[in-house]
Amino acid sequence: MTSDPSSAQPRKAARRLRGPSLRALLADIVESSEDAIFGRSLDGAVSSWNRAAERIFGYSAEEIIGRSSHVLLPPDRPEEIRRLMERIRRGARVEHFETVRLRKDGERLALSMSVSPIRNARGRIVGASTIARDITRERALEARLLEAGEEERQRLGRDLHDGLGQQLGGMELLCRTLRRSLSKRSLPEARTARLLVSQIQAATRQTRALARGLTPVMDRPNGLMLALEDFATTTRILFRINCTFHCEEPVLIADRGAAIHLFRIAQEAVSNAIRHGRARRVDLSLRRKVKHLTLEIRDRGRGLAAPAPNPTGLGLRIMKYRAAMLGGTLHLAGISPRGAVVTCNVPLARLNAVVPRL
């Protein structure tokens, strides 16, 4: 990195400043920051609060200083501040993690946060300072883009099914009639008409499979299980590979949006296994654990290229994003002796998972 001559001047000036003047300069920088910057003591009480924090969280400095920072914590993340403070006590910094906090008016904020220990003059850790960037609008926009993509897929799927699908159905009927009349007259063209019928049937099967992939039916809690089963079957037919789906215990998901996210993750992982791994065998599985659900896509392809898979790939990022939207995680790993596995873990609580009566 080359040094920027324009920044050298203020840095020199800052070095010349000492004691109270330096503190005043730093306080000005904190006050004029676009990001919320606040401090808290080890017991969690807020000790400083800049202007951006007032704007982002809706609490004035007078209102919140001295109060517990737990007021910012959404009820579905009760442990987060305690865990953060444990790390701070050990002297660790926590950088750029994404999380959710509450505004004074109850709105949820998406934030990118960095938290570091504050030490006193003797080097003892006495609290934590937090820098929080408001990324609510970016996250909402990303979610909206995903939704728009989903709506587009659903529309394409319906058009394929109702438009092309119906047209092929009509053509098949006509060709059958033609074949019958040709064979009645014992004309050799009847054979061509028969071939035509079977070609149209194959095209109909492909159209239906594509339409189902675009518009999976998720209107019942067992929708994801059925859609993945169906997806494995169509993958076998369309790509002529061995593709299976295993689900030992029923996994019922009430939240349709969540089921669609999981289905899209499976689709992308299978597509990567076929395209990049040239896999001839892919196994999908869905397992219910005590508190979470695991979706796994395991292939016996070429495995991951060394040193690391294409970091610009959008597919993997979107898969991870979908998992994060469900409060879960997603990893891609190579397996020995060959192949790759995508593992997605999602807390059951976020899926409105229906507990099956066995």
Ligand X SMILES: Nc1ncnc2c1ncn2[C@@H]1O[C@H](COP(=O)(O)OP(=O)(O)O)[C@@H](O)[C@H]1O
Site string for Mg ion, 87-126 (x = CB under 5 A): ----------------------------------------
Ranges within 253-272 binding Mg ion (CB under 5 A): 272
With CB under 6 A as the contact rule, the residue among 44, 216, 221, 301 that binds ligand X is 301
> Residue written as tokens 């791994």?
277
- Within 8 A by CB and 6+ apart from 333, the residues are 304, 340, 341, 343
Token output for 77: 């993340």
Q: Are 179 and 187 in contact (CB under 8 A)?
A: no
Which residue has 């007021």 as its token pair? Answer: 71
Gap between the Cα atoms of 263 and 258, Å rounded: 9
Identify which of residues 23 and 246 has a Cβ nearer to ligand X in the complex.
246
Name the binder of 157 from ligand X, Mg ion, none, CB < 5-8 A by kind: none
Does the footprint of ligand X cover residue 272 (CB under 6 A)? yes
Question: Is residue 314 close enough to count as binding ligand X by CB under 6 A?
Answer: yes
CA atoms within a 13 Å half-sphere pointing along the CA-CB vector of 174: 7
- 200: tokens are 């149209």
Does residue 299 touch ligand X according to CB under 6 A?
yes
316 touching ligand X, by CB under 6 A: yes
Cα-based distances in Å from 103 to 67, 69, 111, 139: 15, 12, 11, 16
Piece in contact with ligand X (CB under 6 A), picked from 104-112, 114-122, 223-231, 297-305: 297-305
User: 46 vs 344, which CB is nearer to ligand X?
Assistant: 344
Query: By C-beta, is 177 or 310 nearer to Mg ion?
Result: 310
Select from 83-91, 99-107, 206-214, 273-281 the region that touches ligand X (CB under 6 A).
273-281
For the CB of residue 195, give the shortest distance to Mg ion in the complex, in Å.
36
The one-character DSSP state at 255 is -
Closest by Cα among 118, 53, 56 to 89: 118
- Min. distance of Cβ 322 from ligand X in angstroms? 12
CA distance 320 to 311: 13
Phi-psi region of 79 (alpha: psi -120 to 50; beta: other; left: phi over 0): alpha
Closer residue to ligand X in complex, CB, 103/281: 281
Q: What's the angle, vertex CA 207, arms to CA 201 and CA 213, rounded to 5?
A: 140
Name the token pair of 126.
């006495």
Cβ atoms < 10 Å from Cβ of 291 = 9
Q: Tell me if 102 sits within 8 A of 74, measured CB to CB.
A: yes
3-class DSSP assignment, residue 301: coil
Applying the rule CB under 6 A, the residues between 320 and 339 that interact with ligand X are 332
310 binds, among Mg ion, ligand X, none (CB under 5 to 8 A by kind): ligand X
Rule CB under 6 A: say whether 315 interacts with ligand X.
yes
Q: Give min distance, CB of 339 to ligand X, in A.
A: 7
Residue 305 found at the interface with ligand X (CB under 6 A): yes
Q: Which stretch binds ligand X (CB under 6 A): 38-46, 151-159, 207-215, 303-311?
A: 303-311
Site string for Mg ion, 280-319 (x = CB under 5 A): -----------------------------------x----
List of residues contacting ligand X (CB under 6 A): 272-273, 276-277, 299, 301-305, 309-310, 313-316, 332, 340
List of residues contacting Mg ion (CB under 5 A): 272, 315
